Amino acid sequence: MKPDWDKLMKNWNKGKKAANTLIADVDCTSDGGKALCEKVGVKGYPSIKWGDPNALEDYEGGRTYDDLKKWAKTNLKPVCSPKNIDLCDDEKKAKIAELQALKPEDLASQITAKQAEIKSAEETFDKEVKALQARYEELQKGKEEATKKVKDSGLGLMLSVQAAAPTADGKTEEL
């Protein structure tokens, strides 16, 4: 994917498009990129994020150059935000005005509460995945034990006897 992403960056970040949008990459394993990646919620590599830098979303489309280019042409453009209020519908304009009217500490409190909801959902997910993994391992072990028990009870011998028995035409089966 890296060569296709590099090609997209090179071809996209020039001309009119570069005035309003940017395609870039960050090395999340380096000291310089680690903090940014944690801030925007990168959990695995490679990850593609897009949108308002303050509220990035996960990209879930194709990973070839053609897929990325097609998606970028359709989706990468200025979007509704406090800085681009003219791009907002009336409902979004009203919501932005409502949020802008809040005291800074009230807005910060609401943001903290929403982030806590996300963190709670992630913690629940992680806990349940661990429980599923433990159950999977338990089922896998049970299956392996049951299979071994059946084989040890004489299945192999039964199969050998069956294969050696003459068929209706008097011949024995051969593999």
Tokens of 160: 């050998």
pTM of the predicted protein model = 0.63
Superfamily per CATH, domain 2-79? Glutaredoxin (3.40.30.10)
Q: Please report, in tens digits, the pLDDT of each residue of the chain (175 residues total).
A: 888 888 888 888 887 777 778 888 888 888 888 888 888 888 888 888 888 878 888 888 899 999 999 998 888 888 888 988 999 999 999 999 999 999 999 999 999 999 999 999 999 999 999 999 999 999 999 999 999 999 999 999 999 998 888 877 777 666 6
Domain ranges of the chain: 2-79, 102-175
